[in-house]
Amino acid sequence: MTRTTPLAAARGQLPPPGVELAFDQTVPRSLAHRRQVGEVFVTDSAQGSEEDFHLSFQIPRAHSLWSDRQAGFHDPFASAEAARQSIFVLLHRHVGVPVGLPFSLQRITLRVADPQAYAHDGTSALQGYVHYRVAERQGKGSDVVSMVLEGVMEIGGRRAMTLSAVLAFMSQEDYDIFRAFQRARKPVAEARRTPVRRLDPGLVGRENPRNVVIGLPEHGAPEDAVPHDGVFRFLPAADPHHPAFFDHEYDHVPGPLMVEAMRQAALVAACRTGAAGPHALTVGCEAAFLDFAEFEADLVHEAVVGAPGADGRVPVTVVLRQFGKPVVEGRIELLPDAAPLSPSRTRAHGV
């Protein structure tokens, strides 16, 4: 295993002098693990050293999912999706990991360092740069076993977000054996999904009902009910044909869908407790993926709202459970009172 020094570019300019990154076109879709060209957000990449990688990205202004929010702020989760795709690009284009080698994100952490980096007037695209540094690595190329990445994102000249990711790799044969073993230990054959009514999009800061991914049992408590134990519970309600979440076929519930479900569960829970409104800005996310989630069974989303911090951020602990066991454990941070810059200053800092 190799270890490197902390991320140096977090203190400097992105991209650094001598590294030129363009926004003219996206990278090949296979590098970003996307089947649809319109779902590819990474536009360019360059390797600075053996452990340093620089990438550029742009989110389409009319994207069906990431543009579905009130004007004033871009969605930080849109840039997080670009950062996720950037990991695939650097692995395949620069590190020598073959396209098609199975690997999984075991843990992700992101924190918005400057919310004003996401301010916009409704006319500008969200674009910027990501720098990743390999902090730890076991194996190389097709023999890689694990990797830890530390990253920083810049938008409009502002340090917008810090990121980290823990990756695990295996051969296709090992993956197939592992998944078969996992499913055999679960009561998948006897599982039944509870009928669900999708939440109103306004409750999760969306306008398009198709972008709502959580709901409540059809005959359960009303949407505005507050549980006596303080734990808000929701069930999956995502459109199985959603072009962003189901860009290609999966043998398990996709990680990005579960993270969006965490965010929506946190928003609704914060709204019901009065800690934040549905248009609060998501400024932090931690998620540990403990198991694969199966499509056949209920995936219960449990959210508990914590006390606001000194910086006004509201932490919401979220756990996704299936067959009584945690599949994902994490936390979402919401900023209730984010106020966008004035239009003139927004244009100055936008892209």
User: Rounded to the nearest 5°, which phi and psi values hold at 159?
Assistant: -75, 105
**CB count, 10 Å around CB of 178?**
13
Q: Is residue 221's pLDDT more than 80?
A: no
- Given a contact cutoff of 8 angstroms between Cβ atoms, the answer to whether 19 and 54 are in contact is yes
pLDDT interval class at 350 (50, 70, 90): very low
Min mean pLDDT across 14-18, 112-116, 222-226, 242-246 is at 222-226
CB atoms under 10 Å from CB of 226, counted, come to 11
DSSP helix/strand/coil, 32: coil
Compute the Cα dihedral for 270, 111, 129, 349 and give only its sign: positive
pLDDT of residue 70: 80
Whole-number percent of the chain with pLDDT over 70 = 92
Q: Say if residue 140's pLDDT is above 90.
A: no
Q: Tell me, what's the pLDDT at 120? A: 87
Q: What is the pLDDT of residue 205?
A: 92
Looking at residue 214, its pLDDT comes to 98
Give me the mean pLDDT over the 298-324 stretch: 97
Does residue 160 have a pLDDT over 60?
Answer: yes
Q: Are 121 and 172 in contact (CB under 8 A)?
A: no
Percentage of the chain beyond pLDDT 90 is 80
Which among 143, 142, 147, 140 is positioned nearest to 104, based on CA atoms? Answer: 147
The pTM (predicted TM-score) of the whole model is: 0.91
How far apart CA 107 and CA 236 sit, in angstroms, is 21
Give the length of the chain.
351
Average pLDDT over residues 25-44: 96
Distance CA 314, CA 101 (A): 38
Least confident residue range of 3-12, 164-173, 195-204? 3-12
DSSP-derived 3-state class of residue 156 = coil
Nearest Cα neighbor of 81 from 125, 32, 121 is: 32
CB of 94 within 8 A of CB of 53? yes
CB atoms within 10 A of CB 169: 20
Residue that wins the pLDDT comparison between 2 and 309: 309
* Cβ neighbour number for residue 346 with a 10 Å cutoff: 21
Per-residue pLDDT, averaged over 16-34, amounts to 95
State how far the Cα of 42 lies from the Cα of 29, in Å rounded to an integer: 9
CA distance 28 to 43: 9
Average pLDDT, the chain: 90
Taking alpha carbons only, the member of 58, 153, 81 closest to residue 113 is 153
With 50 as the cut, is the pLDDT of residue 1 above it?
Answer: no
Sequence letter at residue 187: P
Q: Is residue 126 a contact partner of residue 58, using CB atoms and an 8 Å limit? A: yes
DSSP class of 62: T
Position 291 pLDDT exceeds 70? yes
